[in-house]
């Protein structure tokens, strides 16, 4: 019995030694994509709200009293300067012109008689036929008659002006609005309501409101030399109410010299061409203004920046020995898809933008230059596993070892 147990124990021992599995190898460092920080000139812009307003606006009002007998335009049409718009009953003013002409004729008749009398008295005073006083009175009467003619001519001119004002004309060229008064309405020169309004909408003004604090900061940066303004600083781009960009660039005209005490803003005016009439007065728009150029700016992709528990922006960089390091940034604003970084990084730093999930400072990584181009089919992007391959940083699953039968060794002491 003992002789049969010994070979069986040997077989079990050999089978256990042959089936032992080896420990899996350590996973390679995870692959990450990085961009290298560099300094470059960046144009800084700001987007501010604004309202469109007409280049010229004229409220058409009557300058004489009377009944409106005709409206001579179509509402919404383009009118030229001097075009007739309304006609007021001219009969009373035609009568005034006729009366003024008669007064002028009467004054001219009087001046002929006065001048003749003064001339005769001049001859008589030389021979002392009349007194000196009579001659001077005749001369004064002749001069008064001449002045009376001038006064009557001025009255005639006034009557003619009033008669001409019975035809109300457009003071400017532009698009005319609706008519508030209709034919048959009684109008007066003292009324406050306009008959209609004409607006010139090509070109158009855009009035922009900017915070005085932001404007002060911008001026200080320009004075300190951190920002420079080139020839393009006067250009303005416009975004319409539907989010589309207006095709024509505008130009800054002026900035108001006072700050609104109620809102703390300063008004800036830009001018835009409007040949197709797309812009209308009163539209809400957003204007993109060029603030200046920062010569040595550092930009970091937004996808690389996260926030810590204090809300401060942070990034992960590839440090010495290809180990991950954390950095806290000062990033006051975004520019497109990037953050403008003013502190926390230096030129040459390698900022991780791809494959940073679950990484901690001190973790070794395999850095590669990040590219926006899509990876070829079957090839993994940085930090992503290829199809059919285990993800970086994950241990490979052990394959079950195939059992090998243990070969029995002959026992010299085995009984026959």
Could you report the per-residue pLDDT of 313-360, keeping only the tens digit for each?
Answer: 998 999 888 888 888 898 888 888 888 888 888 898 889 888 878 788
- Output the CA torsion sign for 259, 260, 264, 266: negative
Residues pairing with 207 in the sheet: 51, 269
Residue partners of 41: CB distance under 8 A and separation at least 6: 293, 294, 295, 296, 297
pLDDT at residue 229 in the model = 64
pLDDT at residue 172 in the model = 94
pLDDT at residue 22 in the model = 65
Q: Answer whether residue 411 shows pLDDT above 60.
A: no
Question: Which pLDDT band holds residue 232 (cuts at 50, 70, 90)?
Answer: low
Among the ranges given (9-23, 207-221, 393-407), the one the predictor scored with the smallest mean pLDDT: 393-407
Q: Answer whether residue 398 shows pLDDT above 80.
A: no
Q: What is the DSSP letter of 319?
A: -
Query: What's the mean pLDDT when you consider all of the chain?
Result: 80
More confident residue, 68 or 7: 68
| Per-residue pLDDT reduced to its tens digit, 80-95 | 999 999 999 999 999 9
Q: Answer whether residue 130 shows pLDDT above 80.
A: no
pLDDT at residue 73 in the model = 93
Q: Answer whether residue 30 shows pLDDT above 90.
A: no
3-state helix, strand, coil in the chain (%, to 5): 25, 35, 40
Residues 370, 35: contact at Cβ < 8 Å?
yes
pLDDT at residue 184 in the model = 92
Tokens read off for 389: 């391959």
pLDDT at residue 203 in the model = 92
More confident residue, 163 or 373: 163
In the chain, % of residues over pLDDT 70: 81
The reported pTM is 0.63
More confident residue, 396 or 281: 281
ω into 93 cis (within 30 of 0): no
């Amino acid at each position: 019995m003992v002789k049969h147990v010994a070979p069986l124990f040997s077989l079990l021992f050999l089978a256990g030694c042959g089936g032992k599995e080896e420990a899996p190898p350590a996973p390679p460092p995870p692959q990450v994509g990085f961009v290298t920080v560099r300094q470059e000139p960046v144009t800084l812009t700001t987007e501010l709200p604004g309202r469109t307003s007409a280049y010229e606006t004229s409220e058409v009002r009557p300058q004489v009293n009377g009944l409106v007998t005709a409206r001579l335009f179509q509402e919404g049409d383009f009118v030229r300067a001097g075009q007739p718009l309304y006609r007021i009953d001219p009969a009373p003013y035609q009568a005034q012109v006729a009366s003024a002409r008669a007064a002028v004729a009467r004054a001219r008749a009087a001046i002929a008689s006065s001048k003749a009398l003064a001339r005769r008295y001049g001859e008589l005073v030389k021979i002392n036929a009349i007194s000196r006083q009579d001659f001077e009175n005749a001369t004064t009467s002749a001069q008064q008659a001449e002045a009376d003619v001038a006064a009557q001519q001025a009255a005639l001119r006034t009557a003619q002006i009033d008669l001409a004002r019975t035809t109300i004309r457009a003071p400017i060229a532009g698009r005319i609005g609706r008519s508030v008064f209709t034919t048959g309405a009684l109008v007066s020169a003292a009324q406050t309501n306009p008959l209609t309004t004409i607006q010139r909408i090509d070109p158009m003004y855009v009035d922009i409101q900017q915070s005085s604090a932001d404007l002060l900061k911008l001026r200080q940066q320009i004075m300190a030399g951190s920002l420079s303004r080139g020839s393009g600083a006067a250009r303005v781009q416009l975004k319409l109410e539907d989010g589309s960009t207006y095709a024509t660039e505008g130009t800054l005209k002026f900035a108001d010299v006072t700050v609104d005490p109620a809102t703390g803003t300063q008004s800036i005016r830009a001018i835009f061409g409007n040949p197709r009439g797309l812009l209308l007065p009163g539209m809400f728009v957003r204007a993109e203004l060029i603030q200046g150029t920062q010569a040595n700016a550092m930009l970091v992709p937004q996808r690389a920046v996260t926030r810590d528990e204090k809300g401060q922006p942070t990034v992960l960089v590839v440090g010495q020995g290809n180990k991950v390091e954390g950095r806290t940034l000062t990033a006051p604003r975004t520019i497109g898809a990037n953050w403008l970084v003013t502190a926390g990084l230096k030129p040459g730093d390698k900022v991780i933008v791809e494959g940073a999930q679950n990484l901690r400072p001190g973790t070794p990584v395999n850095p590669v230059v990040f590219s926006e181009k899509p990876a070829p089919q079957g090839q993994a992007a940085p930090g992503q596993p290829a199809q059919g391959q285990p993800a970086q940083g994950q241990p490979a699953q052990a394959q079950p070892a195939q059992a090998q039968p243990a070969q029995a060794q002959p026992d010299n002491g085995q009984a026959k």
